[in-house]
Amino acid sequence: MNVLEFKDKLDVKIMRLSHSLWENKVNRGNLSRWLENFESSDEVKECEQTHAMYLLSNFMYFGSREIRELLKSLYRDKFFKPLIQNVRKRNNNTKDKSLINLEVVNELKATRFLGMGNPSESGTHLLYFFRQENSLGKEDFMHSHEILSLDRDGRGNLSLSLKQPDVKRYILLDDVCGSGTQAIDYSKNLISEIKTLDPNVEVYYFTLFSTVEGMENIRRESDFDLVDCIFELDESFKCFSDSARQFRNKEKLPISKEFAKQFCEKYGINLAGQEHCLGYKDSQLLLGFTHNTPDNTLPIIWGDNDWDPLFKRHHKKYGFWYNQ
C-alpha cells in the first residue's frame, strides 16, 4: 500500500470520527494545517504526516454527552450505591426503605462535592454538569477555600477550625489523573489540616479517567480515605509501550511504532520539554475532552509553540504568588 492510499483511508476514518464522535472539532482546514507541522515522504514508513494521521485516528475524544454520562456513573456507582450499602450494613442489612431513605438523606446533607484545584481548573468546571446530571442542590457544593476558617480568639490568637463542622465527607472530583502528582500535593496541603481538626472526617478523590500508576501513587502517598475512577488506563493506552493497543497488529500495518515515537519525541521536546515530550511525565496518551486536552496527551496534538494544534489545550497560568 502506498502513501496516498493509506492516507486516504486514514482521512476518511478521521472525518467520520470527527462527525460522529469528536463534535466536528476536526475539519479539512485545521487537519491540513496540523499536518503541515510534519514532514512528508513517498515512503509510508518514513512519512511523518502518515504516522501522525494514524495516531490521530486512534485519538479518544469525550464530548459533552459522554462526559455527562460518565459523571452520572461516577455519582451512582462510586458514591450513591456504596452509600446505601453502608447504611444497610450498619443497620443489620435492613430492607426498611423508610429507614434507609432517612439515613441516606442525612448522609447526603453531610457530604460536599468539590473540584480538584482552584475554581478555574477542569475539576471545578465539571461540577456544573455533575450537579445537573445528578439532581443535586447548590448547597451540596463548595470551594476548597471554604472548608477551613481562620479565627481569632478573645486573646487575639489565630486558630484554624472547620467552617461547617456538620460536614463529615468531602469528595473531590477531577477529569483525568496521570501521575497523581496534583492529587498527592493537594492531599498534603489540605487533608492533613482537616484530619487534625476532625479525624473522623472522610475525604475522597474521584476522577473520570486515571492511569493505573496514578491510582497506585495516590493510594500509596496521599491521605485520601478513598481513591477511585471510572475508566482506568493501563499500559496498553500508552502509545509506545510494549503493549500499546494502537500498534497491537503492527506487523500488518504499513507504519512503524519506532518511527512514530522518534518524531513525536523530536517535536515534543520543543513543545513541552525533554521530560514531558510524550506527555506529562511520559504519559503517552491520546485523550481529549470537550472542555480541554490534558497535558498527558502527546504534545503534537495540543502544542502551540510555533505549532498548529488540532485539539487545543488551555494551559494553567499561575500568578507570581503560586508555588506548586
277 found inside a domain: yes
112 and 198 part of one domain = yes
135 and 265 part of one domain = no
321 found inside a domain: no
So what's the pLDDT on residue 118? 66
147 and 245 part of one domain = no
So what's the pLDDT on residue 318? 37
84 and 42 part of one domain = no
Distances (CA, A) of 257 to 1, 260, 268: 17, 5, 16
Domain count along the chain:
2
Q: Which helix (DSSP H) or strand (DSSP E) does residue 289 occupy?
A: strand 287-289
So what's the pLDDT on residue 314? 80
Range of the domain at 288: 3-58+239-302
Domain of residue 212, CATH code: 3.40.50
265 found inside a domain: yes
So what's the pLDDT on residue 320? 31
174 found inside a domain: yes
323 found inside a domain: no
Instruction: Identify whether the C-beta of residue 86 lies closer than 8 Å to the C-beta of residue 108.
Output: no
115 and 131 part of one domain = yes
205 and 75 part of one domain = yes
Q: Which residues pair with 148 in a beta bridge?
A: 162
144 and 11 part of one domain = no
φ, ψ for residue 77, nearest 5 deg: -90, -30
73 and 108 part of one domain = yes
317 found inside a domain: no
So what's the pLDDT on residue 1? 61
- Show which of 206, 233, 260 is a domain's final residue: 233
- Show which of 233, 249, 284 is a domain's final residue: 233
- Of 162, 183, 168, nearest to 116 by C-alpha is 183
Specify the 3-state DSSP secondary structure of 212: helix
Distances (CA, A) of 323 to 77, 186, 317: 35, 12, 12
- Tens of each residue's pLDDT in the chain, 324 residues: 677 889 999 999 999 999 999 999 999 999 999 999 999 999 999 999 999 999 999 999 999 999 999 999 999 999 999 999 999 999 999 999 999 999 999 999 999 999 987 655 666 789 999 999 999 999 999 998 899 998 877 677 888 899 999 999 999 999 999 999 989 998 887 898 999 999 999 999 999 999 999 999 999 999 999 999 999 999 999 999 999 999 998 788 899 999 999 999 999 999 999 999 999 999 999 999 999 999 999 999 999 989 999 999 986 543 332 232
51 and 85 part of one domain = no
257 and 226 part of one domain = no
199 found inside a domain: yes
318 found inside a domain: no
114 and 253 part of one domain = no
- Show which of 212, 233, 254 is a domain's final residue: 233
201 and 90 part of one domain = yes
Q: Which residues contact 16 (CB under 8 A, 6 or more apart)?
A: none
Q: Which residues contact 140 (CB under 8 A, 6 or more apart)?
A: 108, 111, 112, 113, 131
So what's the pLDDT on residue 241? 97
